[in-house]
Structure formats: C-alpha cells, structure tokens
Structure 1
Amino acid sequence: MIDFWLAAGLLLLVALSFLLIPVLRSRRAQLEEDRTALNVALYQERVAELQVQQQEGVLDAAQMDAGRAEAARELLADTEGVAAPRVTRLGKAAPLLAAILVPVLGLGLYLHFGASDKVELTREFAQAPQSMEEMTRRLERAVAAQPDSAEALYFLGRTYMTQDRPADAAKIFERTVNLAGRQPELLGQWAQAQYFADGKKWSDKVQALTDEALKADPKEVTSLGLLGIAAFEGQRFQEAIDYWNRLLEQLPPDDQSRIALQGGITRASEKLVASGGKVAQAPAAKPAALLKVRVDLAADLKAKVQPGDSVFIFARATSGPPAPLAAKRLTVADLPATVELGDGDAMMPQLKLSNFPEVQLVARISRAGQPTAGEWIGRSQPLASSTTAPQQLTIDSPDK
C-alpha cells in the first residue's frame, strides 16, 4: 500500500506545481517591479540635484542638459529587459487556496469513491496465508468489500464448513444462491450446511433443497452424499447404500474420498444384515459406448482445403442438448483417419454417449479453428449409441 500512496503523492506534487509556478512567477515579477521603481526614484533624485546646482550657478544650461541625459541613460540601462507587469484577476490568494483545497478535496473523494480496501485485499491475496484463520479473515474482508461477489461468498462458505461453522456457512450459501441463482451445486452445499447447523436433524427445508438439486442434476454429488448420511443416521441402511453407490459412480477412479465412501457402504451393509435385512444388488452399470468412425474428404474438396485446416469430429444426441457428447480434433493433413468416440471423450461428465440412445456423427472443417462454424461438413444418419460396427463419414457439403 505504501507504493500506492507514494505514486499518488508524486502525482499530487505534479498537480500542485501547475498551481504554484504562477505564484512564484508573480513573486519574481513583483521583485522586478520593485527594482524598477527604485531606479526611477534614483533618477528623479539625480535630476533634482542637478536643478539645485544649476540654481546655485554651479552648472550652466549645457551642463544641466548633459547631466540629465546621462541620468536618463543610466535609468534606461537599469530597466532594459524588464517585462511589462501582467494584470491578473485571480490575485495571489486564489492559487494558494487552490493548492490547499485540491489535495484535500482529492483525498476526500478517493476515500469516499475509491477502492483502497480492494487494493489492499489484492495485495494480501497475492501472498499465501499463514493459517486458516488468516484465510478466513481475508475472505470476510473480501465479502465486505464486494458483497455482490458470488465467488467470494462461495469460498467463504466452504471455509466456514472446514472450520466446523455450519450455521455461518448456511447463511453464506443462502446469500450465494440469491446472487448466482439456484444452481444444483450451490443448493447441495446449502442443504449440507443447514443439516449440520440443525444438529444433524433432517428438516423439510433440507429435503426441499436436496430434491431441487437432484431434480436439476441427478448426479449432484453433495446432495447424494448428504442423503446417504441422513439415511444412515436414520438407520435406513439400504437407502444409504443406494445413495452412496450413485455417488461412487461420479467420483474419478483416483479420488481419495472413494476409500471413505466405500467404507461407509460396507458399514451400512453390515448393519443392514445384522438387523435381519438383505443388501439389494445394485443394478448393472450401463456398458460404456464406443463408436469407431473412418473420416475422409470428398474428392472434389481436396483442392479447396489446406493441410493445416482443423477437422472436428464429434457425436451429438439426435434428441437432447446441442453440445457434443464426445469430440476429437485432427487436421486435413491427417485424413483419411479412423477415430474412436466414447464415454472417455465426454465434454462434460453428465453428457456421455451411453446416456443417450441415439446419436449423429459430424465432421467439420474449420480454417479458423472454431468447432461451431466452418467451411465444410459431413453428417451421418442417426444411429444407436451402442453401435459397434465401424462407420464411414465423408466431408462433402458446405457448412451452412
């Protein structure tokens, strides 16, 4: 913050110089004017002496004229080069008053409209916090400085949860939802914080939040985990197993939380068996989709494309979101080429080939490297996402 004030002070000095320089110049002009008045007074005194000497008969008329001419030459020599005095309507007090008021007014306006707190926060966040408490204080100041920042509120809520402050976290997540909208992830975080803030008591509010989150996104992980915890605490062990199995499907293979989650499923299974129940078998997982497609270029287009032009090959649902379900990128120089599109190439985890029964294969050439628009395109007929036979796709039409 010191360097900021140093820079501001330097700019202030530059601004004041434009106000003080005229004052200094006027003072110099005043000194020159005073010196000129003194020379004129000396000239008049010399002429008076000559007149007295002439009256006493010491000087004749010729000597009198010669002495007066000599005094005039001396006066002219002393005043030569002195600029004519400039008349100003501002006077001397106005620039000095402005020099005092400008920095005071500037400082007041900055303190009122400026963002010194945000500048200081930016400097603080550039350095790693020394403790979780320090990080929390920074986030709290960030929220105070930017109350409309959903991102700052979200991170503050997560930090409160790690510090076992669920009541504070619930209030923060509620504010986040009001700002950013009722997104499934935010609803899940709010429900989880509210559940622990209520002493692990399930309520209609928590139920409504988790229902809304899973309706918008059936794979929302926080809601699935929370419902599993609530079911386990309520001794509904089969429900807990089902929710946690659904959550387990969403986690990457190398996720460390899979171990704890699997342990929870094991404990729930043991308690279910001990109570005389039987663990229901989880439904078989849907086989992963894998489409193999050979992409080629129509003969009449080979002279119209360039080797470096991008080629985007993707599959999209015939009835569903317009976003590609799986995509690969090549260049014209790679054609003809055979590629595989599968669940592992999904653009988003919830948009997998295996989640949609029917898809269409598309290949697009884009000189600008844009996957959504290009010069030439090829499309296949709709086919089942479970198709295993190799497909042929030819780029042969203008992209309109």
Structure 2
Amino acid sequence: MIDFWLAAGLLLLVALSFLLIPVLRSRRAQLEEDRTALNVALYQERVAELQTQQEEGVLDTAQMDVGRAEAARELLADTEGVAAPRVTRLGKAAPLLAAILVPVLGLGLYLHFGASDKVELTREFSQAPKSMEDMTQRLERAVAAQPDSAEALYFLGRTYMTQDRPADAAKIFERTVNLAGRQPELLGQWAQALYFADGKKWSDKIQALTDEALKADPKEVTSLGLLGIAAFESERYQQAIDYWNRLLEQLPADDKSRIALQGGITRATEKLVASGGKVAEAPVTKVAALLKVRVDLAAELKARVQPGDSVFIFARATSGPPAPLAAKRLTVADLPATVELGDADAMMPQLKLSNFPEVQLVARISRAGQPTAGEWIGRSQPLASSTTAPQKLTIDSPDK
C-alpha cells in the first residue's frame, strides 16, 4: 500500500499547485500595486514642491512646466510594465481554504467509497499463502470486501470444509446459492456441509437438496458421494454401492479419489454379503456412441466460399448443455467428406454422446475460424445417439 499512497500524495500535490499558484500570483500583483501607489505619491509630492517654489518666486512658469514634465516621465518609467491589478471577488482566503478542504474531503470520500481494502487483497492474493489459516483469512477478507461475490463465497465454503468447519461452510454455501442460483453443484456442497454439521444425521432438508441437485444433473458428483455415505452409515449397503458406482463412472481414469471410492464399494459389498444379502448385478455398460456423417456443400454456395474457410462439424444434445459433445474440423477444400463423431471426440469427459439419448448434427462454415459463429450452416433433424446408419448433412443456409 505504500506505493499507492505515494502515488496518491503526488497527485494531491499536483492538484494543490493549481490552487496555490493563483494565491502566489496575487501576492506578487499586490507588491506591484503597492510600488505603483508609492510612485504616484512621490510624483504628487514632487509636483507640490514645484508649486511651492513657483509661489515663492524661485521658479518661473517655464521652469515649472519643465519640472512637472520631468516628474511625469519618472513616474511613467517607474510604472512601465506593471499590469493592471485584477479584481477578484473570492479574495485570498478562498483558495487557501480550498487547498485545505480539497485533500481532506478527497481522503474522506476515498475512505468511505474507495477500494483500498480490495487493492490490498489483490496484492495479498498475488503471493502464495503461507498456511491454510492464512488462505482462510484472505478469503474471509475477500468476502467482507465483496459480499456479493459468489465465487469468493464458494471458495471460502470449500476451505471451511477442508478445515472441518461444516457448520460455517453450510452458512456460506447457503449464501452462495442465494447469490448464484440453485445450481446442482452448489446444492450438493450445501447438503454435504449440513450433513456433517448435524453429526452425520440425515434430514428432510438434506434429502430435498440432493433430490433437487440430481434432478437437474443426474451426474452431480457431490450429491452421489453424499448419498452413498449416508446409505453406508445407515447400513443400506446396496444403495451405497449403487451411488458410488454411479460416481465412479463420472471420475476421470487418473483421479486419485477413485482408489478410496473403490475401497468404499468393496467394504459395502463385504458388509452386504456378511449380513446375508446379495450384491445386485451392475447395469450393463452403455456401448460407446459413434455417428458417421457425410458432409457436403450446396451447389449454389460453392462460388461464395473459399477453399481455406474452416468447416466445423459437431454433435450437440437436443436437450442439455449447448456445448458440443463431439467435434471435428475440416476446410471447404475437404468437402465432400465423411467423418465419425463418437465418445472419443468428447470435448469434456462428462459430455459424451452416449450420455445423451438424442442429438443434432451441425456443420458450420466460418471464414474467421470461429466454431460458434460463421457464414453458412447445415443442421440435421434430431436423432438417437445410438444411431449406426450413415447420415447426410448439407450446408445450405445462412448462419444467423
């Protein structure tokens, strides 16, 4: 903060200079005015002496005129170059008073409306925290400085959970939901914090939160893991196995938590068998989706495109996230072309073709190379993601 206040001080000095320069100039003008008044007084005194000498007969009329002219020339020489005094209604006190009030008022307004706390937080976050407590304190100050920041609240809630402070985390996640909306991930985090804050006691509120989260996103990982834990604690081992298997499908192959999750499934299986139960067979794994599509350009458009224009071919869910599920990139020079879109082309591991029952095929020409906006486009009718028959797609419409 020292460099900030130094910069502010320099700017303040510049501002004060505009107020004090007129005061200094007025003092100089006053000195010049006083000197002019003295010269006029001396001139008048000289003329009075000449008149006295004339009355006494020492000077005749001609000598009197010469003496008066000489005195006038001296007065003119002494006052030459002196500007006429400027008349001001403010006086000298107003600029001096403004010079004092402006910085005081500016400082007060900055302390009230300014963002010095945010500047300091920015400087702090530019450096690595020394400990988890240090990170927590920074996040708490960030939330205090930006109470409407859902992102700051979310990270503070996650930090509280890692510090075994679920009650504090539950309050923070509730505020986050109120700010950012009832997003599935936030609902799952809130439910998890409430569960551990209540000593691992299930409640209607926790059930409602997890139900809402999984209804919006059946693959919401926090809710799946929490429901598995709750089922295991209440000796509902088959349900625990089911929830954890669903969670296991969502985790990347290199996720370190897969080992612990698989261990939980094993323990639940052992307890289920020991209690005389039988593990239900896991559902058949879905076959990876693979769509084959032949893309061509309408004849009337061939003269209006260039060989180097980009062609983006992708599949997106008809009911789901707008992001492409699988995509390929070609050029106009490659058309017509046959491409395959499958789970291996997924933009994100959670967004695979096989995870959505119905999709739409889209091909877009973009001279600027932007996949989200272009000049020409072609769209297919909705089709099942499990379709195996080759599809045809023609680019024939303006991209609006």
Structure 2 partner of 1:391 = 391
Structure 2 partner of 1:63 = 63
Q: Which stretch shifts more, 158-167 or 288-297?
A: 288-297
**CA gap 1:21/1:317 in 2 versus in 1, 3 angstroms:** closer
8 Å contact 2:252–2:349 — kept in the other structure? no
Q: Which stretch shifts more, 378-387 or 65-74?
A: 378-387
**CA gap 1:322/1:194 in 2 versus in 1, 3 angstroms:** closer
CA distance in 2, matches of 1:190, 1:97: 57
**CA gap 1:266/1:84 in 2 versus in 1, 3 angstroms:** same
CA distance in 1, matches of 2:320, 2:37: 97
Q: Are 1:44 and 2:47 an aligned pair?
A: no
Structure 1 partner of 2:103 = 103
Deviations 1:139-194 (CA, angstroms, capped at 9, x unpaired): 11111111111111101000111111111101100111111111110011011111
**CA gap 1:185/1:38 in 2 versus in 1, 3 angstroms:** same
Q: Which stretch shifts more, 103-112 or 318-327?
A: 318-327
Q: Which stretch shifts more, 313-322 or 100-109?
A: 313-322
Q: How many Å apart are 1:299 and its aligned residue?
A: 4.7
Q: Which stretch shifts more, 245-254 or 11-20?
A: 11-20
1:332-371 superposed matches below 5 A: 332-347=332-347, 351-371=351-371
**CA gap 1:53/1:317 in 2 versus in 1, 3 angstroms:** closer
Q: Which runs of 5+ in 2 are unaligned?
A: none
SS in 1 for 2:45: helix
**CA gap 1:44/1:376 in 2 versus in 1, 3 angstroms:** closer
Q: How many Å apart are 1:10 and its aligned residue?
A: 2.4
Report the TM-score, using the length of structure 1 for normalisation: 0.91
SS in 2 for 1:359: strand
Q: Are 1:315 and 2:340 an aligned pair?
A: no
Q: How many Å apart are 1:67 and its aligned residue?
A: 2.6
**CA gap 1:20/1:318 in 2 versus in 1, 3 angstroms:** closer
Q: How many Å apart are 1:223 and its aligned residue?
A: 0.7
Q: How many Å apart are 1:317 and its aligned residue?
A: 4.7
CA distance in 1, matches of 2:51, 2:299: 120
SS in 2 for 1:15: helix
8 Å contact 2:317–2:359 — kept in the other structure? yes
Q: Which stretch shifts more, 349-358 or 308-317?
A: 349-358
Deviations 1:233-286 (CA, angstroms, capped at 9, x unpaired): 222222111111100000011111111111111121122222222222211111
Q: How many Å apart are 1:11 and its aligned residue?
A: 2.4
Q: Which stretch shifts more, 254-263 or 18-27?
A: 18-27
Q: Are 1:202 and 2:199 an aligned pair?
A: no
SS in 2 for 1:316: strand
CA distance in 1, matches of 2:123, 2:21: 37
SS in 1 for 2:392: strand
Deviations 1:171-229 (CA, angstroms, capped at 9, x unpaired): 10011111111111001101111111111222222222111111211111001111111
SS in 2 for 1:308: coil
CA distance in 1, matches of 2:182, 2:251: 23
Q: Which runs of 5+ in 1 are unaligned?
A: none
Q: How many Å apart are 1:129 and its aligned residue?
A: 1.6
8 Å contact 2:250–2:350 — kept in the other structure? no
Q: How many Å apart are 1:92 and its aligned residue?
A: 1.4
Report the TM-score, using the length of structure 2 for normalisation: 0.91
CA distance in 1, matches of 2:39, 2:399: 93
Q: Which stretch shifts more, 36-45 or 192-201?
A: 36-45
**CA gap 1:28/1:396 in 2 versus in 1, 3 angstroms:** closer
Q: How many Å apart are 1:291 and its aligned residue?
A: 1.6
Identical-pair percentage: 94
SS in 1 for 2:147: coil
Q: Which stretch shifts more, 162-171 or 228-237?
A: 228-237
CA distance in 2, matches of 1:357, 1:30: 91
SS in 1 for 2:273: helix
Deviations 1:358-377 (CA, angstroms, capped at 9, x unpaired): 44433232334454554444
Q: Which stretch shifts more, 44-53 or 115-124?
A: 44-53
CA distance in 1, matches of 2:321, 2:111: 50
